[in-house]
Amino acid sequence: MAGYTYSNLTDDIRNYTEVSSTVLTQAIINRFIENAEFRINQELPMDADRFVQEGNLVINKNTINSPAGALFIRGVEVFDSTTSTEDEGKWLEKKDQTYLSEYVDRLTGPEGDLTSQPVTGFPKYYAMFGGATGTTDSTSGGLYIAPTPAANYKFRIYYNKMPGGLETNNSGTYLSNYLPQGLLYACLVEAYGYLKGPTDMLTLYETKYKNAIQQFAGMQLGRRRRDDYTDGTVRIPVKSPSP
């Protein structure tokens, strides 16, 4: 598949900027690539980064650890079973922590709080706190749920995860294979900013990046989220030439 390997992208960054490895060292270029990958993944959630994690809730525990590397949670599904997900799951409603605090207070009185919630039942709401770090499920961040589980219900967390970068996967990544030009332009924006290069070159590659990411978003958030049978064929109006 045509696209960038780590080596190809490194060479192109130096070739486009006309700067040698004595200035743009491997460590500096690695940071360009990492910053570009983070920018793209934060600006454009992609289907390739969607993951699902299953587990069991813990009786009398009103938190779930956030999946490792999760950028954001797309949904939480809980099943009225402790052993299987064959039955239809129930989707929890996402709320703010303050909402859950008020909800718990209504059930337990003015002393209710999210860290010592005595009321148990089938969960109905969830709220985010903290964040995920490292390569394992984070204990410093995750999801509050209410009411507190009365059983070890099965659950599924649907989330987007920060994928491995090109520095680690040298032969190619989803981004380097399917958005090679956008990844290059994002890296060149980083490079010209670092080099304090001509403003017009920085503007040029920023514009090229935005055009590339907009086209890619049309596929990721448009074509990939619809089909011709259900939604109809996409029709783009084409202006007729003036007589």
CA 204 to chain centroid:
27
Which domain covers residue 175, as residue numbers? 6-46+163-222
Residue 91 maps to a domain: yes
- Residue 206 within any structural domain of the chain: yes
pLDDT, residue 195, reads: 93
Per-residue pLDDT at 2: 72
Please report the pLDDT score of residue 112 as a whole number. Answer: 46
| Residue 82 is assigned to a structural domain of this protein | yes
**This prediction's pTM:** 0.76
- Check residue 194 and give its pLDDT: 94
Domain tally, the chain = 2
For residue 242, tell me if it sits in a domain.
Answer: no
Q: Which of 127, 152, 177 is the C-terminal boundary of a domain?
A: 152
For residues 106 and 182, state if they share a domain: no
Residue 233 domain-assigned (yes or no): no
Q: Give pLDDT tens digits along the chain (243 positions).
A: 578 999 999 999 999 999 999 999 999 999 999 999 999 988 888 888 899 999 999 998 888 888 888 888 999 999 988 887 777 789 999 999 888 888 877 655 444 455 554 578 899 999 988 765 555 555 567 899 999 899 999 999 999 888 889 998 999 998 999 999 999 999 999 999 999 988 999 999 999 999 999 888 877 776 666 666 676 666 666 677 766
Residues 62 and 147 in one domain: yes
Domain boundary among 152, 181, 200: 152
Q: Is residue 85 part of a domain?
A: yes
**Read out DSSP for the chain?**
--S--HHHHHHHHHHHHT--TTTS-HHHHHHHHHHHHHHHHHHS--GGGEEEEEEE--TT--EEEEPTTEEEEEEEEE-S-SS-S-SPPEEPEE--HHHHHHHHHHHH-TT--TTS---EES--EEEEES---SSS-EEEEEEEEESEESS--EEEEEEEEPPP-TTTSTT--HHHHHSHHHHHHHHHHHHHHHHT--HHHHHHHHHHHHHHHHHHHIIIIIGGG--HHHH-------PPPP-
Please report whether residue 108 resides in a domain: yes
106 and 85 belong to one structural domain: yes
pLDDT at 84: 78
* Nearest-5° Cα angle at 112, 111 to 116: 115
Does residue 67 sit in the same domain as residue 140? yes
Kindly state whether residues 145 and 169 are assigned to the same domain: no
Decide if 82 contacts 151 (C-beta within 8 A). yes
Do 174 and 198 fall into the same domain?
yes
Q: Which amino acid is at 100?
A: L
